[in-house]
Structure 1
Amino acid sequence: MVERQKQIGRDRVSRLVSWGHWFAFYNGLLAIIVGYRYLDTVGFPESIVGWSYLALSTIGHFSFLAFMVYLVLIFPITLLLPYSKILRGYAAVVATLSLCMLLYDTIIYDDYGLHLSPFVFDLAWADLNGLLQGTSYIITPIGILAIELTLANYLWKRIEKIRKRNYGNKVVGVVGLCFIASHLIHIWGDAADVTEITQFDDAYPLSYPATARSFMESYGIENTHEDQGQTRPKTSLKYPLSPMQCMADDKPNILFIAIDSLQAKLVDNKTMPFLTTYANNNQSFQKHLSGGNQFSSGMFSLLYGLQGSYMNAIDLHYESPVLTQELAASGYQLGLFTSVDTLARPQAIFDDFERVDSHYDDSYASSDIRSVENWQTWTQASTQPWFTLLNLKSPDSYDTPIGFLGVKTVKADKSLKSAEKVLFNQYRQSLNFIDSQLKKILTDLPDNTLVVITGVSGKVFTSNPTEARVNLSPDNVQVPMVIHWPKQSAHKRINYRTTHNALVPTLMTQVLGCTNPTADFSAGSSLMQPSDRTWVYTGDNRIFAIYQQSEITTIDRHGKYRIYDREYKKRLRKKMSAPELIEVMREGRRFYIH
């Protein structure tokens, strides 16, 4: 008798477990329906490859999320309280809360571009009235609960028929295959930089697609997107917001020198005497911040004038910067002079340039010398007004030419480690070499040449690329910004805070005569006047920092944040400033079509 009761109990638990699995599966399908809202924000693929990946990824990911909710919150209750009525009601409530949370996440993602996390929840709570409008946030949970209760009872009444048909293994096999296949496809898509795959990397919550970029590149699978004939997707980004109205009267030549890894505080009389004197005789911005701490994010902010959250926008892989478009339309000849291995995002960033690459043979210093020679030859042969972007790269790798005799070694800061002190002095040698190249370039320029000299990003002394990528300290983002206006001898030191995003509005208004509001095409305002914003965004869409008056807040793509003092020396135990961060998130979605 006792054995029979145990058997009945085991059968009941087995039936409940089977019911729970099917309940989780159908909730995965409901989650897919709710998750469709993410695609309205991200955009849809156009190719068969993109749609195939999206279908596999969506089925695998949301089925996995639904099963995790079941495994963590429902399965233990099945063993503790194996009573169908209790379990069905409890499971319906859990599923309702989970779907409501997913629905709320779609709203937040559409508005902020981030998924729910403690940081984002605090932010959204302060902005609740702006996010939730009308009475749908009351009616919708009631409707979802009704659907869940109906589904729970429907499955319970038919669970025996479903079990007899033995569909379970087939469903698990299909879902498992979708999950594994989507990650394998993403490994290839990430290594080959197939944007119709990688654009969905951050679209779904708790999504961590597998990558193997270095492994795939070692086998020569790289940049295959260029040969795949991808079609441009339907536009989800409106850039610029209104047609540009520009009429350039005077057309000076424009020399734009962008130096990789140029730390502002090391531009001094001992290390870079020529640039220091040149800055003192021209317009010099003393508190200038790059738009990022890496080449891609820094260059993106310089040419697009947008904050780094737009850097991976699929539309911009097909849309060159408005600045270079208008320069070309005004009759400028555009030339890019850099190393042959220079890659940047988005893919269209250099589309308007005639690219003149110098061969890289294990020495960026030698490559920089050739870039300068190529620039001199090209500009002397040009018969039109020109806009040239000269990218010098030596400081990023601490490189100098063989036999170069630079500056004397000095005592490094005590806060640096032993290895960092060696890098510090080698970095100074590289800067001194760049200073000699600047002297060669700027000594004999035509009078009608506008010159812009800046760093793409700053520099921290480490050989660890991961450490450099996540470091958003002033050393890594504060750079010089020097502008020489043709036929003007006035020099001025600007002491208000400026950013790379402001260069595009400056050139568009001062040189090209554009009359559009700067908000139509940029996240910045002109360098010629202080910004009315109390914050500066620097970084990309994966990790970024918000520089405010007295603190720096760093945030990663999962919403984990830390707050530091203005020198980035001390971590502060305080809450974030919600109003400014809400402005940041809104700016990061402003150019998207809703």
Structure 2
Amino acid sequence: MSERKEQMSRDKVSRLINWGHWFAFFNGLLAMIVGARYLSSLGYPETVLGWGYLVVNTLSQFSFLAFIVYLVFLFPVTLLLPYSKILRGLAAIVASLSLCILLYDTVIYDDYGIHLSPFAFDLAWADLNALLHGTSYIVTPIGIVIIELTAANFIWKRIEKIQKKQFGHKVVLFIGLCFVSSHLTHIWADAADITDITRFDDAYPLSYPATARSFMESHGIEGTKDLDPLLSDKVTSGSAKLTYPIAALQCSIASQSNILLISIDSLRADMIDDKTMPFLTRYQKQNQEFSQHYSGGNQFRTGMFSLLYGLQSSYSDRQEFHNKRPVMTDELLKSGYQLGLFMPEVIRQNALINSMFDGFELNASSRLDGGAAADLATVANLTSWLQSKALPSAQTAPWFALVNLTAPKEYDTPIGFLGIETVKPPFELKAAEKVLFNQYRQSLNFIDKQLQQILTQVDNDTIVLITGTHGQIFNTNSDAVKRDLSPASVKVPLIIHQPNSPAAKVKYRTSHYGIVPTLMTQVLGCENPMADYSAGRGLLEPSKESWIYIGDSQIFAIYQKNEITVLDRHGKYRIYNSQFTKRLDKKMSAPELIQVMREGRRLYNQ
């Protein structure tokens, strides 16, 4: 008799466990529906491959989340209190709370670009009125509870029929295959730099896709760059509507000045001195020197985006900008400028790079022999181009030349280059870093000579801007360099030569965000408010904002007067002093961070 009771008890528990699994699977499907809101922030994939990855990743991720909730909150109760009515009611409550939390996370993600965390919750609580609209936040949870109770009872009444059809093993196998294939696909996409897949890395909560980049780099394997045309261009399907510029631009060209913009990869502001870069040091003193200038990022993509668009580099991750060239480019073309781009070869399959430089006549140099050789070829291409513009038969249209030099990023110099003597670093470095420091100085000295050659070919009436795409830290670990947002990585020089303007040293803080609006107003005669097409910060007066956003949407820093806050997509943050030498044990001001997040979505909220 006791054995019969034990058998009945085991059967009851087994039935409850089977019911729990199917209830979890149902909630995984509901979570996928709710999670579709994440894609409204990021935009949808552009390729068949991207769609395939998104489908399998979504199925595996939300099924995994639903199963974890079941395993933690419901499975122990099934063993301790195997009563169906209690379990069904508890399961409906737990599932409803979980879906409400997921729904709230989609709201936080859409507004701030980060997932729910203690930090994000504090931020959202301070901005609650702006996040919650109407009565949906009351009606929706009630609707979810009704759905969960109905589903719990429906599945319980039919659990025996479902078991007889033996779907369970097939579903588990299918979800398992989705899980494995999504991670394997991401490993390949990460190694091959396929952004239509990797841009979804942080789209879903608690998502940690497997990567292969660091492993492959440590074994000397390079990622695939020449990708299939299927991955290359350009269909945008996000539901968020971009308004850029916010209003039609009213521009009337103020001058016919030629413009030369030179951007040097990895050019630190604190490395310009008489020994390392004597020519640039003299040139800096003779013109406008912006001594507290910052790039918009610590990489080529983010730094160049902030330079050409005048917008936070968080926008560079949005799919709509992969189809939208800078408004400054449009206005230069409308004003009759000839646009020349002089740089090493770029990845043409990268849609953002294509858009940034759309409208320019590309004069590319080969990277095969290193950055220094590419820079020599770049300068030679620019020289030929400038000489062609000076011919009597040449058109009289003004020109805008964008030159990108790259040798310092690779610590490179040409073969046989006679550089400068090594010196002791002015800051503390490890032994290997000291070698990189002095090799970096040699590379800067080489660049200094290239700048001298370039600038002796342009007349005094040409507007010249010299800056760094980003800074440099002395580390060969690419992941460490990518995540470093210290002043060494982002503080760069800015030197402007303007005809008939006296030498001056600007000591207030400026950034790449100010270059576009300054050129648009001073050269192209645009009368719109700067905020219509940029972050709204010019170079000619101190910015009203007390902060600068540096980085992308994955990891970014907020530079304030006396502190630097570094945040990632998951809401983890650290606060440092202004020299980035000491961590501060304090919380960030939520109202100020809300301003930062709002600016990063302003062009979608018009």
What range describes the TM-score normalised by the shorter chain of this pair?
A: over 0.9
How far off its partner does 1:301 sit?
A: 0.7
Give the distance between the partners of 1:281 and 1:11, measured in 2 at CA: 88
Give the distance between the partners of 1:531 and 1:313, measured in 2 at CA: 26
- Does structure 2 retain, via aligned residues, the 8 Å contact 1:113–1:589? no
Q: State the match for 1:515 in structure 2.
A: 527
Range that drifts further, 150-159 or 294-303: 150-159
2:560 to 532, 536, 548: 548
Range that drifts further, 489-498 or 241-250: 241-250
Give the distance between the partners of 1:129 and 1:171, measured in 2 at CA: 42
Give the distance between the partners of 1:46 and 1:307, measured in 2 at CA: 23
Q: State the match for 1:241 in structure 2.
A: 246
1:113-128 to 2 correspondences below 5 Å:
113-128=113-128
How far off its partner does 1:175 sit?
A: 2.7
Q: Does 1:157 align with 2:183?
A: no
How far off its partner does 1:193 sit?
A: 5.1
SS at match of 2:308: helix
Q: State the match for 1:317 in structure 2.
A: 322
How far off its partner does 1:322 sit?
A: 1.4
How far off its partner does 1:242 sit?
A: 2.0
For residue 227 of structure 2, what is the amino acid of its counterpart? Answer: T
Alignment CA distance shift 1:225-1:117 (3 Å): farther
For residue 207 of structure 1, what is the amino acid of its counterpart? Answer: S
Q: State the match for 1:449 in structure 2.
A: 462
1:432 to 432, 445, 452: 445
Range that drifts further, 227-236 or 444-453: 227-236
- Does structure 2 retain, via aligned residues, the 8 Å contact 1:335–1:356? yes
Q: Does 1:283 align with 2:288?
A: yes
Give the distance between the partners of 2:242 and 2:70, measured in 1 at CA: 38
Q: State the match for 1:461 in structure 2.
A: 474
Q: Does 1:403 align with 2:416?
A: yes
Q: Does 1:340 align with 2:345?
A: yes
1:570 to 576, 579, 582: 582
Give the distance between the partners of 1:142 and 1:495, measured in 2 at CA: 57
Q: Does 1:371 align with 2:378?
A: yes
Q: Does 1:232 align with 2:244?
A: no
Range that drifts further, 143-152 or 92-101: 143-152
SS at match of 2:158: helix
Q: State the match for 2:131 in structure 1.
A: 131
Summarize deviations over 1:468-488 as a string: whole Å, max 9, x none: 1111111111010010012x1
For residue 151 of structure 1, what is the amino acid of its counterpart? Answer: A
- Does structure 2 retain, via aligned residues, the 8 Å contact 1:336–1:353? yes
Give the distance between the partners of 2:305 and 2:264, measured in 1 at CA: 14
Give the distance between the partners of 1:58 and 1:246, measured in 2 at CA: 46
Give the distance between the partners of 1:285 and 1:169, measured in 2 at CA: 66
Alignment CA distance shift 1:362-1:119 (3 Å): farther
SS at match of 1:390: strand
Q: Does 1:262 align with 2:267?
A: yes
Q: State the match for 2:112 in structure 1.
A: 112
- Does structure 2 retain, via aligned residues, the 8 Å contact 1:502–1:525? yes
Q: Give the length in aligned residue pairs.
A: 593
- Does structure 2 retain, via aligned residues, the 8 Å contact 1:194–1:225? no
How far off its partner does 1:256 sit?
A: 0.6
How far off its partner does 1:105 sit?
A: 0.9
- Does structure 2 retain, via aligned residues, the 8 Å contact 1:193–1:225? no
- The percentage of counterpart residues that share the same residue type is 60
SS at match of 2:150: helix
Q: State the match for 1:413 in structure 2.
A: 426
For residue 502 of structure 2, what is the amino acid of its counterpart? Answer: A
Give the distance between the partners of 1:191 and 1:246, measured in 2 at CA: 44
SS at match of 1:348: helix
Q: State the match for 2:498 in structure 1.
A: 485
How far off its partner does 1:387 sit?
A: 0.9
Give the distance between the partners of 2:74 and 2:206, measured in 1 at CA: 20
For residue 33 of structure 2, what is the amino acid of its counterpart? Answer: I
Q: State the match for 2:144 in structure 1.
A: 144
Give the distance between the partners of 1:321 and 1:376, measured in 2 at CA: 26
For residue 416 of structure 1, what is the amino acid of its counterpart? Answer: L
Structure 2 gaps of 5+ residues are 390-394
Structure 1 gaps of 5+ residues are none
Range that drifts further, 531-540 or 109-118: 109-118
Q: Does 1:358 align with 2:388?
A: no
Give the distance between the partners of 1:104 and 1:26, measured in 2 at CA: 20
Range that drifts further, 375-384 or 50-59: 50-59
Give the distance between the partners of 2:261 and 2:232, measured in 1 at CA: 33
Give the distance between the partners of 2:353 and 2:501, measured in 1 at CA: 37
How far off its partner does 1:228 sit?
A: 5.5
Runs (4+) off by over 6 Å: none
Range that drifts further, 422-431 or 477-486: 422-431
Summarize deviations over 1:25-71 as a string: whole Å, max 9, x none: 11111112212222332233465444444333322221221112112
Q: State the match for 2:167 in structure 1.
A: 167
- Does structure 1 retain, via aligned residues, the 8 Å contact 2:576–2:584? yes
Alignment CA distance shift 1:256-1:86 (3 Å): same
Give the distance between the partners of 2:379 and 2:227, measured in 1 at CA: 31
SS at match of 2:558: strand
Alignment CA distance shift 1:462-1:194 (3 Å): closer
SS at match of 1:591: helix
For residue 353 of structure 1, what is the amino acid of its counterpart? Answer: F
- Does structure 2 retain, via aligned residues, the 8 Å contact 1:92–1:145? yes
Give the distance between the partners of 1:412 and 1:496, measured in 2 at CA: 27
Range that drifts further, 298-307 or 112-121: 112-121
Q: State the match for 1:470 in structure 2.
A: 483
Q: Does 1:176 align with 2:173?
A: no
Give the distance between the partners of 1:358 and 1:18, measured in 2 at CA: 64
How far off its partner does 1:572 sit?
A: 0.8
SS at match of 1:338: strand
For residue 327 of structure 1, what is the amino acid of its counterpart? Answer: L
Q: State the match for 2:88 in structure 1.
A: 88
How far off its partner does 1:465 sit?
A: 1.3
How far off its partner does 1:341 sit?
A: 4.9
Range that drifts further, 226-235 or 403-412: 226-235
Q: State the match for 1:561 in structure 2.
A: 573
Q: Does 1:4 align with 2:7?
A: no
Give the distance between the partners of 1:429 and 1:484, measured in 2 at CA: 26
Alignment CA distance shift 1:471-1:56 (3 Å): same
Give the distance between the partners of 2:290 and 2:121, measured in 1 at CA: 37
Give the distance between the partners of 1:327 and 1:341, measured in 2 at CA: 23
- Does structure 2 retain, via aligned residues, the 8 Å contact 1:192–1:225? no
2:388 to 362, 381, 389: 381
Alignment CA distance shift 1:140-1:147 (3 Å): same
How far off its partner does 1:184 sit?
A: 4.2
SS at match of 2:292: strand
Give the distance between the partners of 1:96 and 1:342, measured in 2 at CA: 46
- Does structure 2 retain, via aligned residues, the 8 Å contact 1:311–1:346? no
Summarize deviations over 1:208-232 as a string: whole Å, max 9, x none: 3344468699598434354567452
Alignment CA distance shift 1:198-1:411 (3 Å): closer
Alignment CA distance shift 1:227-1:37 (3 Å): closer
Q: Does 1:295 align with 2:300?
A: yes
For residue 472 of structure 2, what is the amino acid of its counterpart? Answer: K
Alignment CA distance shift 1:361-1:31 (3 Å): closer
For residue 17 of structure 2, what is the amino acid of its counterpart? Answer: V
Give the distance between the partners of 1:327 and 1:226, measured in 2 at CA: 30
For residue 453 of structure 2, what is the amino acid of its counterpart? Answer: K
SS at match of 1:496: coil
Give the distance between the partners of 1:218 and 1:465, measured in 2 at CA: 14
Summarize deviations over 1:539-585 as a string: whole Å, max 9, x none: 11211100011110001122211111111000111111111111111
Give the distance between the partners of 2:70 and 2:520, measured in 1 at CA: 56
